[in-house]
Amino acid sequence: MYFYKLKNRVLISQNKHAGFEPISEKEAEKNKDILFILSRREPLKSRRSFCIADTSLFFMKEEGIHLLKKERKVKNRLPVWLEKRIKDKRLCMINLEYPKWQEVLTFKIPSKWRIHIAGLGDVGGMLLIGLRLLGGNYVKSIGIFDRNEQVITRWTLEANQVFSPFTMKKFPPIYPVIKKNIFDCDIFIFCATIGVPTLGREKSDVRMAQFKGNSRIISDYAQRAREKSFKGIFAVVSDPVDLLCKQVFLASNKNKKGQLDLMGLAPEQIRGYGLGVMNARAVYHASLNNKTTSYIREGRAFGPHGDGLIIVNSMKKYNEKISEQLTKQALKANLDIRKTGFKPYIGPALSSGSLSILATIRKQWHYSATFLGGVFMGAKNRLHHSGIEIERLNFSPVLMRKINDTYQKLNILL
């Protein structure tokens, strides 16, 4: 291995690189900051950076659905001190094929986050309430934007009046933002949407019906993020989150001629928040039957917020029949609520939105869609200072085929 220093950061590579200051392994070992491993991979199929959470990721040649699968044996060995860095989540992989890769070296996760929300409809408003109530220790402020100025005024007044006296609890202040300043923040939350079928007129899952309209709106925001050189998280809450994430990645990385130049958002900056509520719905239905309660402790959710969802009853004792039952119940819950005469927005806004976003910035495990070899797909993950760690598990062959089928269905935009 070769060791270098750039911008006062230690770089490690299995190949020689010109233009970097070479240093000794001993000097690299003494450095207590996050260390950066240099690699080259096809950028449209690979992230710009990620946390090396286990040794196999150090030697990984390409990214894909196998990122979810735990490697049982690692043939190659690393020095003990590097293995310790991996255990401590202090090793970050960088892809040199991204023109702006050096930004990773100096980026730091904020201790308190500035959040901006675009779209204050049912979901956006409820999500805002959740962040106001629960975000005080981690959220510095919340800026809000909507096409309707009266809506902005209403929520500025209402949300700032959510308060509990005589306690030490903090409530982040809410303030209006104009569109040109929408990316002056650490995390931008997209809740805008058009084309939602009215109650009683939906024929099936309504999420895909929203993609055409929402993709146009979100592409405009993606271009604005590019123009601002936005370095924070672009969080997608509007449906269908997985496909809209991919649209953000592609739209932000195109120049004015429509050519991909990779000068926009890195894939790991984009996250889709839709799987949290599907897990919550599965938990609810699992709690109603003694045969399915194991899901609450041992189960997992994978895939999109809609068709292609996979609910696994238990990662220890996988039962295909029970898993399919829970999956159908979670999928049907959306339409069941609509049949009552109400739009199903409370669960998505809080379980997928507020709670999952707060878990992200707290560096806690949660469900969200991240980039897996060119596809944004929901799975359990968490954010470290060294990047995203995706949970890796042992899968039965049957379950892995199901997950791969969902993965292939989502791979339709590139």
pLDDT band at 329 (very low <50, low <70, confident <90, very high): very high
Residue 72 predicted with pLDDT over 80: no
Report CA torsion sign: 139, 48, 218, 306.
negative
Parallel, antiparallel, or unpaired: how do β-strands 300-302 and 2-6 relate?
unpaired
- How much is the pLDDT for 168? 85
- How much is the pLDDT for 213? 85
Mean pLDDT of the chain: 94
Percent of the chain surpassing pLDDT 90: 89
CATH of domain 276-410: 3.90.110.10
| Digit-coded pLDDT (tens) for 213-234 | 899 999 999 999 999 999 999 9
Residue 48 predicted with pLDDT over 70: yes
Cis peptide leading into 267, omega within 30 of 0?
no
| Digit-coded pLDDT (tens) for 193-219 | 886 656 555 555 555 667 888 999 999
Q: What is the 8-class DSSP label of residue 199? A: T
| Digit-coded pLDDT (tens) for 347-403 | 999 999 999 999 999 999 999 999 999 999 999 999 999 999 999 999 999 999 999
SS3 85: helix
Lowest mean pLDDT among 67-71, 269-273, 385-389: 67-71
- How much is the pLDDT for 203? 53
| Digit-coded pLDDT (tens) for 161-190 | 999 999 889 999 999 999 999 999 999 999
- How much is the pLDDT for 210? 79
Pick the closest to residue 273 from 239, 230, 309, 250 (CA basis): 239
* Identical fold between 113-272 and 276-410: no
Phi/psi for 8 (5° steps) reads: 60, 20
Strand order in the sheet with 187-190: 174-176, 139-145, 113-118, 187-190, 233-236, 270-272, 366-372, 375-384, 387-390
| Digit-coded pLDDT (tens) for 24-38 | 999 999 999 999 999
E strand segments, 339-392: 366-372, 375-384, 387-390
- How much is the pLDDT for 201? 55
How large is the average pLDDT for residues 338-346? 93
- How much is the pLDDT for 77? 86
Identify whether the C-beta of residue 370 lies closer than 8 Å to the C-beta of residue 388.
yes
Element (H, E) at 407: helix 397-410
Number of Cβ within 10 Å of residue 134's Cβ equals: 17
How large is the average pLDDT for residues 245-260? 96
- How much is the pLDDT for 197? 59
Q: Report the topology of domain 113-272.
A: Rossmann fold (3.40.50)
User: Where do the structural domains in the chain lie, given as residue ranges?
Assistant: 2-106, 113-272, 276-410
Exposed/middle/buried for residue 198 (C-beta within 10 Å: 0-12, 13-18, 19+):
exposed
How large is the average pLDDT for residues 90-94? 98
Phi/psi for 312 (5° steps) reads: -105, 120
Residue 413 predicted with pLDDT over 80: no
Residue 267 predicted with pLDDT over 90: yes
Residue 247 predicted with pLDDT over 80: yes
